Structure 1
Amino acid sequence: MTLEPLKPHSREWYARLARELGGYRHPWARVLDGPDPELTFDALLAERLGPGVRVLEAGCGHGPDAARFASGVGRWAAFDMVPELAAQARANAPHADIHEWNVKGEVPPGLRGPFDLIVSRRGPTAVIGRLPELAAPGAEFLYVGPRLDVPQVPGRLAAVGWAVRGEWRVSVRARVPTRQDWATRCEWMTEPGRVPEWDAHAGPDGLPYREERYVALASNLS
């Protein structure tokens, strides 16, 4: 599947993912040689949940985390900027409170805190700038991103008086089976210059690469 001519990661591009793939899903095949690199995020998230915990999820996509966790917490509110994805999240996660929001302007009434935990699984890092008005005293922020370093995360946290308490960089061997899969992944990662790597390094089983994730856990300094 090719996402051209839409601009990668635009609202229209995500809406097309929702229509054609049924949600926020990677549109390429991959094979991991080890554990999913997002299991670190899953474990940190799961150990912070409980019946009284109020959670805000930024960039919920089609709602897989809300569907998995919302019934076990006191409140799970979530938002996405793409109406098609928000609609899918409402259908997939009936226990969650799903809204459309792009992190700009006034916080919608249904997303007003305070929240004990704000989470973002490859979602918008701009939500960090809104932590002071969303977070409860002693709240935490948990993030996972698609590269080993996402420099705007610690920078934005410091700007609002929050500190990174833990960082995890996870790298797992993986491969893509076809050139089209590799080209689609490069487009997703906004790395079109890497497409020729297929011709130089692919073998009978495809092209090996590293599937990477950066996980950060932060809390308020005050």
Structure 2
Amino acid sequence: MPETPHSREWYTRLAHDLGGYGHAWTRVLSGPDPELTFDLTLAGLLTPQTWVLEAGCGHGPDAARFGPQVRQWTAYDFVPALLEQARRNAPQVSLVLWDGKGKRPTALHGSFDLIVSRRGPTSVILRLPELAAPGARFLYVGPRLDVPQVPRRLDSVGWTITSEWRVSVLAHAPTREDWQSRCDSMGEEASREDWAVRATAAGMPYREERYVVLAQPAGMN
């Protein structure tokens, strides 16, 4: 029986099949990756004094890329296989097995200047009051133009969105298998009839979308 998308078993299979957490389908973009907005914003927030917490670190690409630029990069994930890969990819980072919902692990100590989540769990938003240092920021990128629980949860903990971006680019899934994998990941239907009607020589056209949010505690300037 196929794993439920975004379950621990599903992420474990991605870790095995792809060597980490990433798109489980081939995609061909017609322009710049819309996730670059997140990359550029994140890079601009980092200093040698910043304490960072990453929610849902996957196999550790951001920890490996950005971790050396900050004072401390701490990250957590709920998939042991991905954490093992992160330990190899970013050995200087403090890594914790956690789902962001239960009791805060003792290993995840201190407070953080920046909390980030790249297509990761929005549950971390509900923990911001206990995780964030004074004046902290929260940076998130999600896989749709709207992720309603993000502004709703930020409001519930007294945080304010200071900047948000909605970015999309035309993309193609080259094969029907790629399209099926993409729709499974996104929780959408991928019928054979739809492929027969809409697919072109380049594959199935769709919009690769991202919603990027930067937030801080209400009342902060």
Q: TM-score, normalised by structure 2?
A: 0.96
* Cα distance in structure 1, aligned partners of 2:60 and 2:193: 35
- Match in the other structure for 2:47: 50
Whether 1:61 and 2:61 are equivalent positions in the alignment is: no
Letter in 2 for 1:42: D
- Match in the other structure for 2:126: 129
Q: What pairs with 1:189-208 in structure 2 (closer than 5 Å)? A: 189-193=186-190, 196-208=193-205
Percent identity between matched residues is: 63
In structure 2, relative to structure 1, the CA distance for the partners of 1:13 and 1:117 (3 Å cut) is same
Matched-pair contact (CA < 8 Å) for 1:174–1:210: yes
Letter in 1 for 2:47: G
Q: C-alpha displacement at 1:196, in angstroms?
A: 4.0
Matched-pair contact (CA < 8 Å) for 1:186–1:194: no
5+ residue gaps, structure 2, are: none
- Match in the other structure for 1:109: 106
Q: Which moved more, 1:158-167 or 1:98-107?
A: 98-107
Match of 1:8 among 5, 10, 17: 5
**1:18-75: CA deviation from partner (whole Å, max 9, x where unpaired):** 1111110211111000000000000100000011000000000000000001111001
Q: C-alpha displacement at 1:195, in angstroms?
A: 6.0
- Match in the other structure for 2:115: 118
Q: TM-score, normalised by structure 1?
A: 0.96
In structure 2, relative to structure 1, the CA distance for the partners of 1:69 and 1:202 (3 Å cut) is same
- Match in the other structure for 1:161: 158
Q: C-alpha displacement at 1:153, in angstroms?
A: 0.2
* 2:75 alignment partner, SS class: strand
What count of residue pairs does the alignment treat as equivalent?
219
Q: After TM superposition, which residue ranges in structure 1, 4 or more long, deviate above 3 angstroms?
A: 193-196
Q: C-alpha displacement at 1:218, in angstroms?
A: 0.3
Whether 1:139 and 2:136 are equivalent positions in the alignment is: yes
* 2:107 alignment partner, SS class: helix
Letter in 2 for 1:68: R
Question: Aligned-pair RMSD on alpha carbons?
Answer: 1.1
Letter in 2 for 1:90: R
5+ residue gaps, structure 1, are: none
Matched-pair contact (CA < 8 Å) for 2:180–2:190: no
* 2:4 alignment partner, SS class: coil
In structure 2, relative to structure 1, the CA distance for the partners of 1:195 and 1:134 (3 Å cut) is farther
